[in-house]
Structure 1
Amino acid sequence: MAGIFGMDGLSTLQVQEELERGGRFVVFEYCVSFFLTTRRRSSDVYFVRAGQGTFGLSLGYTLLSLLLGWWGLPWGFIYTPRCLATNLQGGKDVTDLVLPSLLAPRYDPALDY
């Protein structure tokens, strides 16, 4: 599946089985500030298998926020702790948003006649 990290080589059935065991789709947040401008964004989607930790996946986003998030007034001081909390709690679970598009039938132009 393109655009989702951690799904390389997995079939839809394998992903469904992993979700039943506790896997999930998550995004991590990061915050970057430049004086009066602060941007709070989400990462791409990551597939986290059951039992897999997210610390390593969130580390880059967490460090980015720690280094560059605080500098915007006033939003840097508001958004940065929120981003850090989200990442340190395992990311934001977006499974309910991703699953419908993952399970939807794909259009195949070769079958269009």
Structure 2
Amino acid sequence: MSKIIGLDGITVEELNKELANGAKFVVFPYCFSVLILTFRRSSEIHLIKARQGTFKKSLKFILISFFLGWWGIPWGIIYTIQSIFVNFQGGRDVTDQVMSALRQT
């Protein structure tokens, strides 16, 4: 599993309390195009605590997609719009997958 941003120094009990209060794990999708090729990627996993906004964390990935994603036809346009939309909605929630992986380790 990749590094989880925001998890450093947090105990299992603190994590469980945060999750019970509404914290979640999210990734921010982005895309970029080179000539006619378009690539979709996701950021590292971020722990978003309850009542914490995601816009500042997603802004980097919105900008990457906005400036570098459009150029591949037709997927660049499609993936750029999808990535920007998901990031404005707060990113992609991957809490279930992360918790499943953490329980296995």
TM over 0.5: yes
Q: CA deviation at 1:12?
A: 1.3
Q: CA deviation at 1:18?
A: 0.3
Does 1:84 find its partner at 2:84? yes
Q: CA deviation at 1:90?
A: 0.2
For residue 14 of structure 2, give the secondary structure of its aligned residue in structure 1: helix
- Distance in 2 (alpha carbons) for counterparts of 1:12 and 1:45: 17
Q: Which runs of 5+ in 1 are unaligned?
A: 107-113
Q: CA deviation at 1:103?
A: 2.8
1:40-91 CA deviation, whole Å, 9 max, x = no partner?
1111100000000000111111100000000111111110000000100000
- Distance in 2 (alpha carbons) for counterparts of 1:42 and 1:99: 18
In the TM superposition, 1:1-113 aligns within 5 A as: 3-104=3-104, 106=105
TM-score normalised per structure 1? 0.88
Report the RMSD for the aligned CA atoms in angstroms: 1.4
Larger Cα-atom Rg: 1
Give the paired residue count. 105
Structure 1 stretches of 4+ with a deviation exceeding 2 A read none
Q: CA deviation at 1:13?
A: 1.2
- Distance in 2 (alpha carbons) for counterparts of 1:45 and 1:81: 21
- Distance in 2 (alpha carbons) for counterparts of 1:73 and 1:65: 14
- Distance in 1 (alpha carbons) for counterparts of 2:102 and 2:54: 21
1:12-41 CA deviation, whole Å, 9 max, x = no partner?
111111000000000000000012100011
- Distance in 2 (alpha carbons) for counterparts of 1:35 and 1:78: 16
Taking only the aligned residue pairs, the percentage that are identical comes to: 47
